[in-house]
Amino acid sequence: MRALAREALALVCAMILIVCARDAAAQRTVTVWHPYRGAEQQAFDQVLQAFERAHPGVSVTTLAVPFDAYAAKLEAAIPRGNGPDLFVDAHERIPSYLARRIITSADTAIARVGSDLEPIALEAVQSGSERYGVPLALKCLALFVDEELWERAGRPSLDSLESIARARAALPPSAYPLVYYASNAYFHSAIVHALGGQLFDPQRGTYAFDGSPAIESLTFVQRLLADRVIPPEVDGASVTPYFRSGRAMTVISGPWLVGELGGGRRYRVVVLPRVRDGGRVMSPFVTVEVAFLASNARAPELANELAAYLASPAAARVRATVGRQVVATQSVWSEPELANDAVLAAFRRAASRGRVMPTHNNMRLSWEPANQAIRRALRDPRATRVAIDQGRRRYEDASRPLPAKRSPLPLQLALGLIALAIALRSVQRARDPDFRAAVKRSMPAYAYVTHAVVIVALLVVLPLVLGATTSLYAGRDGALEYVGGANYWDIITARGGSLFASGTFYAVLLVTVLWTVANLALHVSIGVVLALVLSRPLLKLRAVYRVLLIIPWAVPSYVTALAWKGIFHRQTGAMNAILSSLGVEPISWFAQFSTAFAANVVTNTWLGFPFMMVVTIGALAAIPKDLYEAAEVDGATPWQQFRHITLPLLRPTLLPAVSMGAVWTFNQFNVIFLVSGGEPDGATEILVTEAYRWAFTRQAQYGYAAAYAVLIFGVLVLGTRLLERLTLGKQGGSK
């Protein structure tokens, strides 16, 4: 006992020491988070080491955070006091970070750097009267030119997209004059800007991909596609292979492409061209990379000093030469080493012609509607106007004013009354001696079930209640306010629009029901047929077939889903390869509802039939053989035996399997999300994936998404009840 006490004392002392030491160290430590990788990370680390050398007694702790989780981590860590003192991120996030109060003014740090920073970058970090964050680098699109193809095409002028397009005739059919991610709004916006339009109006803070510049820009790209100036269906990832394999004379891309190209091809980088001969030049969005000073910092002084240092010429030089960044520090560009770097210089020039990415909150809401409008218009030129209108409607939908804040008082009152009633009732019962005796008697039983109840409450009931509660709140970016049933009202009334317009709850519900029914019909029929075949005693190698057919079930569903997505790829997929070997034109599987839906169903059927098959094999084995013999003697043909013996006797086993399958399919997120991704235009979206979009791609409208989830829950409860009722009714006299 005494030994134990001594050890405990020692432990406590040690802990106190550690805490004190940490506090002491914190005086001289500055913590930095960044999303860099590769050369940029290397350069950044070099700079930080130089800072440490220049400041004896100071140590810099760095953490490279993967890009996708970056903002969420910052938002979680900084308010709790365990975030960084300084972090690097894009300037567009300023409003959102300000709203969450995780950054502070950087005016002092900027003052230390002096007037050496690019004006366009300083403009980007301005919010109100203050500037938030020290600009470090600029990122935007430029034109990469493959020297060899360019020469082969007779050195055409790169002055406009029109002149580039004219190189078509001079290039082999497999090569294209221009390759870029045409269906993406970020890329397309450069063309829109050149034609006098814009994606987003930063002054008014609204969506602006509208009117004649939008139509003109889309018509222009449609022409490029029709004339085979650009290849169809290029996405962000397929640009690099085109360029590396020498099938793209020019490519529109950002500085990241430099790292991906390596030394394989001879190329140069120039500013983006005009769109039309003699017209205005393309103007890309410019993103400024910023060193933010975190609020709640443990070493604010040091962070300030470090931020200024990062923008200093000494640090900028390293970031530019080693990290290949287009640094925002002007003075270093006159140094010979950088002045002669053609690639960096080109990007710098490109940035100077660009326009700063608006920081308005609604900017981020514009991407998805604009992307969908562009995709639809490029797929179907006749629908250009419709696509543009649809884009605007989607934007309005996503940016609609939040429901009015309500007082939670009525709800609290109701809950309070209920709680009171329960409490009164309990007190009443507790007075009853019989009840007390009963409770006492069943005490041992409670001991047995307590842990199960606690676990179920924590894992099932609590999330359900929290989800349901969230659905009574509304807000974007996680800033939630109580609005009562407004989310439900909005969903159920389709926000006043037509009930079955695309994207409404009812339209998506219809697709979901269709999806569920189609899948179950296929799962059950294929599963039962295979089970019947595999249950024939005469079949050889039965066991082998059974194992083979269960494999689709054993593979994780996302792996299968990705594999099938590949199979349905327009250019490289096996499905089109088979079709074309049969002489059928390749199909753009995800370009129309019918084929996209079919691709989803095929994938999910592949995933789903083994379960039904296994269940059926088990149920078949349980049917006594002499029933078939009795039926045979009674005069039943094989089909009648199946119809009157097999089917009715499979039913009790299949019914629970079918209702389970219905729930799984109804909520089959993986397949929809990974195979069609809701394409075309969200038409194949089902309720769960739609809820996901509200929560995670439309500015984190968690309340709205939660209301969706609660409605899904309700639909499922009703649906399974109905299924039960229907099938029990059919079973006649059985109980």
What residues line the site for other proteins (CB under 8 A)? 624, 626-627, 629-637, 640, 644-645, 648-649, 651, 731-734
Quick one: how far is CA 334 from the chain centroid? 42
Q: Which is nearer to other proteins, 75 or 632 (CB)?
A: 632
Q: Which is nearer to other proteins, 115 or 640 (CB)?
A: 640
Alpha-carbon span 135 to 724, nearest angstrom: 63
Are 378 and 313 within 8 A, CB to CB?
no
Are 150 and 163 within 8 A, CB to CB?
no
Are 40 and 255 within 8 A, CB to CB?
no
Q: Which is nearer to other proteins, 585 or 626 (CB)?
A: 626
Q: Which is nearer to other proteins, 382 or 735 (CB)?
A: 735
Q: Which is nearer to other proteins, 526 or 645 (CB)?
A: 645
410 vs 48, 406, 482, CA distance in Å? 56, 10, 12
**Residue 55, Ramachandran bin (φ over 0: left; ψ between -120 and 50: alpha; else beta):** beta
Contacts of residue 380, defined as CB under 8 A and 6 or more positions apart, other chains included, come to: 387
Q: How far is the CB of 633 from other proteins (least distance, A)?
A: 5
Q: Which is nearer to other proteins, 293 or 615 (CB)?
A: 615
Radius of gyration in angstroms for the set of CA atoms belonging to the chain, rounded to a whole number: 32
Q: How far is the CB of 731 from other proteins (least distance, A)?
A: 8
Are 206 and 400 within 8 A, CB to CB?
no
Q: Which is nearer to other proteins, 316 or 645 (CB)?
A: 645
Q: How far is the CB of 711 from other proteins (least distance, A)?
A: 37
HEC per residue, 352-397? HHCEECCCCHHHHHHHHHHHHHHHHHHHCHHHHHHHHHHHHHHHHH
DSSP tag of 536: -
Q: How far is the CB of 656 from other proteins (least distance, A)?
A: 16
Q: Which is nearer to other proteins, 561 or 657 (CB)?
A: 657
Alpha-carbon span 266 to 251, nearest angstrom: 13
Q: Which is nearer to other proteins, 173 or 635 (CB)?
A: 635
Q: Which is nearer to other proteins, 400 or 643 (CB)?
A: 643
Alpha helices (H) in 400-461, listed in sequence order: 409-431, 433-441, 443-456
Q: How far is the CB of 721 from other proteins (least distance, A)?
A: 23
Q: How far is the CB of 463 from other proteins (least distance, A)?
A: 41
Give the position of tokens 């005469």: 538
Residue 366 has a CB neighbour count (10 Å cut-off) of 25
Q: Which is nearer to other proteins, 498 or 637 (CB)?
A: 637
Q: How far is the CB of 688 from other proteins (least distance, A)?
A: 36
- Parallel, antiparallel, or unpaired: how do β-strands 130-131 and 267-270 relate? unpaired
Q: How far is the CB of 655 from other proteins (least distance, A)?
A: 13
Alpha-carbon span 430 to 422, nearest angstrom: 12
Q: How far is the CB of 722 from other proteins (least distance, A)?
A: 23
Q: Which is nearer to other proteins, 440 or 735 (CB)?
A: 735
Q: How far is the CB of 635 from other proteins (least distance, A)?
A: 4
Contacts of residue 553, defined as CB under 8 A and 6 or more positions apart, other chains included, come to: 607, 610, 611, 614
Contacts of residue 498, defined as CB under 8 A and 6 or more positions apart, other chains included, come to: 504
Residues forming beta bridges with residue 131, ordered by sequence position: 126
Give the position of tokens 């120039």: 270
Phi, psi of 734 (to 5 degrees): -70, 150
Q: How far is the CB of 647 from other proteins (least distance, A)?
A: 10
End-to-end CA distance of the chain: 65
Q: Which is nearer to other proteins, 1 or 633 (CB)?
A: 633
Q: How far is the CB of 727 from other proteins (least distance, A)?
A: 13
Assigned token pair, 12: 């406590």
Nearest of 422, 369, 314 to residue 51 by alpha carbon: 314
Give the position of tokens 């149920």: 619
Q: How far is the CB of 629 from other proteins (least distance, A)?
A: 5
E strand or H helix at 132: none
Alpha-carbon span 188 to 378, nearest angstrom: 11
